[in-house]
Amino acid sequence: MAAALINFVSQFLSLSWLTGPIFDKELRVSSRRRRNYVLRSAYLALFTIILVFIWLEQVRYLGSAAYRISRMARAGQTFTVFIVWFQFCTIQLIAIIMLSTSISDEIDNRTLGLLMTTPINSFQIVMGKLFSKLLQIILLLAISLPLLAIVRIFGGVPWDYIISSLCITLVTIIFVSSLSMFFSIYFRKAYIVIIMTILSLGVLFALLPFLCFLIFKDMIISEDKLISIIFQANPYGIMTFNTVVMVNPRNLGSIFYSWPLHCAIMLVSSGVLLSVSIIKVRKIALLQATGQLDRSIRKKPTDSTVKSRPNISAIRPVGKLAFLWKEMRTPLFGRSKIIAIIVISISLILLLLTYVLIAIEDNLDDQGVQASYLAILGCVGMLFAIVLPATCVTSEKESRCWPLILTTTLSDWQILLGKIIGTLRRCAPAWFLMFGHLILFTLMGFIHPVALIHIPVLVTWVIVFFLGTGIYFSSRFKHTTTAVIMNFTFAAVIWGLVPLLMLLYAAMTHTSDNYVESYMNINPLIQGAAVLEETCGRTRARRSVAELRYHWIRGSTSAVESTGFLLSSMLGYMLIGSLFAWRGKCRFRRNIF
C-alpha cells in the first residue's frame, strides 16, 4: 500500500500524466533539429543588432556627464519597451508556424490511430505536442531575461512592467498555440492553418472590438468604461495599456485594466480550445485506428453522379500540361471546405457590418477610414502572398510525392510553370476584397481614380517578388515550417534589418543618411502609405491629377513622377523575383529526400 502511494505521488509530481511519452519524444527530436538552433541564433542576432541601433540613437556620447546620465533612464525605457514588444509580436508568429502541423502530421502519417492502441490518451497527445513546442518558444523568451534585468539598472522601468509584460506574452503565446493546434486538426495543409490562425486573431482582437465599440459607444456607459470592458480580453490592448502606464500613466485617463484578470481570461479561453482539441483528436484517432477515417473522406458516388459523368472509365490525356492540370484541380481549401466557407462567410458579414456602421456615422468618405480599409485588406493579401509560395514544393516533399514527380517525363520548367500558376490561383481570392473595395469606392468618388493604376502596380510586384522567393525557399528546405519562416524573415531583413544597419553605419561614421531614405522608398509599406495618403478621401478624390503630390520620406513628387518610380520599382522587384524562381527551379533535383 505504501509503495503504491509513493509510486502515485512520484508520478503525479513528475507530471508524466500530463505530457506522457509524446512530450519526451518531441523534446528528443527537437534537440536534434538544426533549424531550432539556427532559429535561436538568428533571433538573438537580430535582437542584438536592433538593440545596438537603439543604444546609439538614445545615448549619444555628446555633452556633459550629467546629460549622459540623465539619458540613461530614457534609454532604459526605450530598451525595455522594444524588447517587450519585439518578443510579444515575433514569438506569436513563430508559435503559429511551429504548431501549424502538430496534429495534421500525425493524421497524414497515419500514426494518430496507432497511438490510440497504446496507453497514451488524447489528452497526453495534445498536451505533449503543445508543451514541447512551448518549451522551444520559452527558450526564446529566456534569451531576453538577462538583458531586461541589466537594463533595469538604468532606472525608469519598474519591475511590475517587466513581470506583467512577460505574463501577458506567455498567456498570449499559449492561446495562439492552442488556436494553431486547433486548426491543424481540421486542415492538413500548413499554409491554411497559418492563414486561418492569423485571420482568426485579426477577427477576434481587431474586428470584433471595433464593431463592439461602434455599436455600444452611444449607450449610457462612457467610452473609457466601454474600452475597459472590450479590451479586457484583448492581449494587444492590454499590452498597449500596460506600456502607456509605464511611460506616462496620465495618458491612459480613466481607462481601467487588470493584467491578472486578463491572464485568467486568456488561460480559460486556451483551456476551452484545448478541451475541444482533445475531444476531436480522440474521435479522429479512433476513426483512423478502426479504418473508418479514409472511408468517411472518400465519399462513394451516387447513381445520379455516375450517370452524369461522361465515359467515367476513360483516362483524360493531358500531355505536357499534366502538372498544370494537377495544380488547377487541387481544391483551394483541401477537404475542410465547409469550415473554410463558414469562417470566410462570417468574416465577410463582419466586414459588411463595419461598412454599415461607419456609413451610419457618415465617416465612410474620410481619408483615414478608406486608407485603413485598403491597408488592412492589402496586408491580408500580402499574408497569402508570403505564405502560399513557400509551401508549393515542401508540401510535395512532406507528402513524399516529390520524388515521384521528378521521375516523370515533365521538365523542370513545366513543373515550375505549374507551381507558379497554381500558387497564383490560390493567392488571387485574397486580393479580391481589396480590389473590390478599391473599385467600388472609386466609383462612389471616395478614392481618386489614379489609385486604380498605382495600387495594381504595387500589388503586382509584391506577388511576383514573394512568388519567386517562396519557390526558392520551398525548394531549398524540406519542411514547410522552415520555408515559411525564411520567407517572412527575408522580407523582415531586406525591409527592416538592412535599413537599420544602414542607419547604424551612418550613425557610427557620422555620415549623411540620404541613401537610407532613398532605400526606404522602395519598401512596399512606404509606397502603399504614400499612395493611400494622397488618393483616399472625398476631398482628395476631387483633385485633378496635376494637383496630387505624393509625399515620400524625402521630398514629394507629382503623380506622373510617382508613377514612373513605382513602375521602375516593379521592374526591379520582378527581375529579382524571377531570379529567385529560376534558382529554385535549379534546386528541384537537389536534396530530394
Alpha-carbon distance of 393 to 472, in angstroms, equals: 9
Q: What are phi and psi of 270, to 5 degrees?
A: -65, -40
Residue 292, SS3? Answer: coil
Cell of 138: 520559452
Residue 291's region, left for phi above 0, alpha for psi from -120 to 50, else beta, is left
| Buried residues in 237-247 as b, exposed as e (16+ CB within 10 A) | bbbebbbbbbe
Q: What are phi and psi of 536, to 5 degrees?
A: -95, 145
Q: CA separation (Å) from 167 to 81, 162, 584? A: 15, 9, 42
Cell of 292: 473508418
Is the pLDDT at 188 greater than 50? The verdict is yes
Instruction: Note the pLDDT tens digit of each residue in 413-447.
Output: 888 888 888 888 888 888 888 898 899 899 988 89
Comparing 409 with 476, the larger pLDDT belongs to 476
Task: Work out the end-to-end distance of the chain between its first and last CA atoms, rounded to an integer number of angstroms.
Answer: 54
Task: Tell me, rounded to whole angstroms, the distance of Cα 388 from its chain centroid.
Answer: 12
Alpha-carbon distance of 280 to 200, in angstroms, equals: 19
The contacts of residue 445 (CB under 8 Å, 6+ apart) are 365, 538, 541, 542
CB contact at 8 A, 244 and 252: yes
Give me the residues paired with residue 447 across strands: 536
Residue whose C-alpha cell reads 516529390 in the numeric block: 402
Cell of 452: 486604380
What share of the chain has pLDDT > 70, as a percent? 82
- In the chain, the amino acid numbered 542 is R
- Dihedral through CA 469, CA 473, CA 475, CA 480, nearest 10? -120
- In the chain, the amino acid numbered 1 is M
Q: What are phi and psi of 304, to 5 degrees?
A: -70, -40
Dihedral sign (CA 125, 129, 130, 131): positive
pLDDT band at 305 (very low <50, low <70, confident <90, very high): very low
The contacts of residue 442 (CB under 8 Å, 6+ apart) are 448, 449, 451, 452, 541
Alpha-carbon distance of 137 to 481, in angstroms, equals: 14
pLDDT band at 551 (very low <50, low <70, confident <90, very high): confident
Residue whose C-alpha cell reads 485571420 in the numeric block: 199
Output the pLDDT for position 303.
46
Instruction: Note the pLDDT tens digit of each residue in 327-347.
Output: 776 666 655 667 667 777 887
Alpha-carbon distance of 233 to 488, in angstroms, equals: 28
Output the pLDDT for position 44.
78
Alpha-carbon distance of 378 to 85, in angstroms, equals: 23
Question: Mean pLDDT score of the chain, rounded to an integer?
Answer: 80
Q: CA separation (Å) from 495 to 50, 410, 448, 449, 555? A: 13, 37, 28, 29, 20
Instruction: Note the pLDDT tens digit of each residue in 20-74.
Output: 677 777 777 776 777 777 777 777 777 777 777 767 666 655 555 556 566 666 7
Alpha-carbon distance of 445 to 364, in angstroms, equals: 11
Using alpha carbons only, give the angle 26, 29, 33 rounded to the nearest 5 degrees: 130
Instruction: Note the pLDDT tens digit of each residue in 451-476.
Output: 899 999 999 999 999 999 999 999 98
Give me the residues paired with residue 557 across strands: 550
Instruction: Note the pLDDT tens digit of each residue in 207-245.
Output: 888 888 878 776 667 777 888 888 888 999 899 888 888
Residue whose C-alpha cell reads 479561453 in the numeric block: 269
pLDDT band at 293 (very low <50, low <70, confident <90, very high): low
Residue 551, SS3? Answer: strand
Output the pLDDT for position 313.
47
Instruction: Note the pLDDT tens digit of each residue in 494-516.
Output: 888 788 778 777 766 777 667 77
